[in-house]
Structure 1
Amino acid sequence: MDPDAIRAGSRVPHGGEPDRDVLDFSANTNPRTPDGVGDVYTAALEESRRYPDDDYLEYRAAAASFVGCEPEQVIPTPGGLAAIRLAMEQALEPGDEALVPYPSFGEYAREVRLQGATPRFVRYDELHELGPSVLEPCALAIVCTPNNPTGDAIAPDALETLVDRCGAADTTLLVDEAFLGFTDRPSAAELGRDHVIVARSLTKLFGLPGLRAGFAVARGERRDALATARRAWSLGTPAARVGAHCLRQDEFVRETREHVERERERMCEALEQRFDVHDSDAPYLLCDVGDRDVATVIADARAAGVAIRDATTFRALDSHVRVAVKDRAANDRLLGALGVGDADEGTVEPHEDD
């Protein structure tokens, strides 16, 4: 990272509610975790008296099988954001330009700036339309699929177009797939292109954001550079063991995808009684509150014991909130707090499908 950029940098806002008495819809994580996680963690904690095996063979094999690549192409990282930073450290030098989508994850621009590079913002849904005159001056381009906070995933043919154009321009393409596991779409890792780096997060899909486990996928010289730059023992033993266990839970993933799709459709129908809701492939919905005051909408929800995300912190959004898709009972609580549907705002009761 560039020392001058660090001194001039700042933090960016995120979702996540520290008050355990408030139902948190501001962070997009699975409310469920796979069976057996506790036992795996306990056993791994005992083994943490030794340093981890820095080869992470079991973890890399599970990750490779999950996304469709070879184990040696997997670079273990403590979360998806660590994979993003590692990719930028490899691809960017001070003075470089990077194409950053908007509205999208705020850490992209911050991480670009920390490398001493300059973000060049472009609409997230127009990236695949860019030609060589825009791509060639840029050392890096970033795509988020499904995009955060809008929720829509880039179409496979559009992604391939962007991959091809970045290759022709000699521009590294970073594909952030933090929420792709909630869909049945293939990973860009399957495309097998040397100029593409994929960043994955385990902790959202498997409901363990505090575990900090993720990985990057790369080939050729970029893979070698990432493997060299990666910190030694970059995953603790509990994170590596639990992560490998979760990545093998095919039935859990299938059930999660089905549940999220079902609940997202139900929530969207209710929320559209009051808000303009963006189409989504992700475990969250972006809502335009129109001429209502965003701060008031958030405060009213919180008064009912529910935290939602202020999406006006995303570039080009000035009247939006984002809500996660959780289990059915919690979702009913959210809908009641937002004054839509026929949900009871009182005690959360279990539903048959959860």
Structure 2
Amino acid sequence: MDPDAVVRTTRVPHGGATDSSVLDFSANTNPDRPNGVEAVYAEALSAATRYPDDDYPTFRAAAADYVGCDADSVVPTAGGLEALRLAFEVTLAPGDSALVPEPSFGEYDREIRLQGADPVAVAADELLDTDPAPYEVAVVCTPNNPTGELADSDRLRAFADHCRQSETTLVVDEAFLDFTDAPSLAGEPGVVVARSLTKLFGLPGIRAGFAVATGELGERLAVARRSWSLSTPAAAVGAYCMRQTEFVEATRRRVASERERLADSLSPQFDVHPSDAPFLLCDVGERDVDTVVETARERGVAIRDATTFPTLDSHVRVAVKRPDENDELLRALTDV
């Protein structure tokens, strides 16, 4: 990290409501979690009087099975954002440049700037057609946050090939990919995949995730990773969750069904962006975004003001939750 860059960089706004009296549709986390998590956490907590095994063999084996890669390529991290920071730390130096999608997750811009490098934005739906050669790093988010668009697998692999030929490191943020049945790019040479376990498994406070990279790039990540990068409970819960295949499939089915229902219900009132993710981006048109957000909150529902994302000046983002909760969202957004 570049010390001079730190003083020029600010925090990034995120969704998430701390008020438990409102239904939170501003953060894209699953309202459900796998059965048995509490027991796994309690058992792991009793073992937390000792340092965790810094090799994390059980967690890495579960992660490897989960995304289809070799366990030696898995680098445990405290959430997907820690995986992204680690990727940028080992690939960027002051004065370098990185290609980033826009609009997309604001932490890419911030984390790249913290390394003293320069983020160069391109429209998210045009990034895979952009020449990566001028950049040290290229970033892809799939499905993209906040638009929800899933990258075409063939085009993404072709872009990864182009990055390898250009000696550009490709960083792929797959934080929401497990809500789809699309294949991961984990294990592809020259690619760093960042994964979060907190979205699909409904445990953002656990802070569990991992990066995947091979060869010399993977070795750099492994060396730079903080020692004991996962707490004992986070490692145990994360490994357990990644084995819950029935929960994953049930969640995917519910999200797909409810996302379609929400999109159909909201479309007469808003322009709803097509989505493959557990959220929907809505253009509120001539309405005032602040008024839409405040009115929904007065009715007991928190939604995300998406104008904090570059290029979005009339948008909100809403998560996809359980059917009864989604009914409350629709009620809150009626005639706003």
Cα distance in 1, alignment partners of residues 204 and 309 from structure 2:
21
- The normalised TM-score by structure 2 is 0.99
Partner of 1:165: 162
Partner of 1:66: 66
Partner of 2:251: 256
Cα distance in 2, alignment partners of residues 130 and 114 from structure 1:
24
Two-structure CA RMSD over aligned residues (Å):
0.7
Q: Does 1:234 align with 2:229?
A: yes
In structure 2, stretches of 5+ residues that fail to align are: none
In structure 1, stretches of 5+ residues that fail to align are: 341-354
Partner of 1:91: 91
Partner of 2:202: 207
Aligned-pair CA distance for 1:13: 0.3
Partner of 1:345: none
Cα distance in 2, alignment partners of residues 161 and 101 from structure 1:
17
What's the secondary structure of 1:20's corresponding residue? coil
CA contact (8 A) 1:182 1:282 kept: yes
Structure 2 counterparts to residues 290-301 of structure 1, below 5 A: 290-301=285-296
Partner of 1:145: 142
Equivalent residue for 2:242, pick from 228, 241, 247: 247
Could you give the per-residue CA deviations for residues 34-73 of structure 1, whole angstroms, max 9, x where no partner exists?
Answer: 0100000000000000000000000000000000000000
Partner of 2:265: 270
Partner of 1:348: none
Q: Which runs of 4+ in 1 moved over 4 A?
A: none
Equivalent residue for 2:309, pick from 300, 305, 314: 314
Aligned-pair CA distance for 1:151: 0.3
Cα distance in 2, alignment partners of residues 283 and 136 from structure 1:
33
Aligned-pair CA distance for 1:168: 1.1
Structure 2 counterparts to residues 216-231 of structure 1, below 5 A: 216-231=211-226
Could you give the per-residue CA deviations for residues 280-328 of structure 1, whole angstroms, max 9, x where no partner exists?
Answer: 0000000000010000000110010100000000010000000000001
CA contact (8 A) 1:175 1:197 kept: yes
What's the secondary structure of 2:98's corresponding residue? strand
Partner of 1:180: 177
Number of equivalenced pairs: 335
Partner of 2:55: 55
Structure 2 counterparts to residues 76-115 of structure 1, below 5 A: 76-115=76-115
What's the secondary structure of 2:192's corresponding residue? strand
CA contact (8 A) 1:264 1:284 kept: yes
What's the secondary structure of 1:188's corresponding residue? coil
Cα distance in 2, alignment partners of residues 124 and 179 from structure 1:
16
> Partner letter of residue 279 of structure 2?
Y
Aligned-pair CA distance for 1:180: 0.3
Aligned-pair CA distance for 1:165: 1.0
Cα distance in 1, alignment partners of residues 276 and 177 from structure 2:
9
Cα distance in 2, alignment partners of residues 213 and 293 from structure 1:
37
Cα distance in 2, alignment partners of residues 146 and 113 from structure 1:
23
Q: Does 1:282 align with 2:277?
A: yes
* Identical columns (%): 63
Partner of 2:325: 330
Structure 2 counterparts to residues 182-201 of structure 1, below 5 A: 182-189=179-186, 192-201=187-196
Aligned-pair CA distance for 1:74: 0.3
Cα distance in 1, alignment partners of residues 120 and 107 from structure 2:
14
Q: Does 1:16 align with 2:11?
A: no
- The normalised TM-score by structure 1 is 0.94
CA contact (8 A) 1:127 1:162 kept: no
CA contact (8 A) 1:182 1:205 kept: yes
What's the secondary structure of 1:75's corresponding residue? strand
Aligned-pair CA distance for 1:193: 2.7
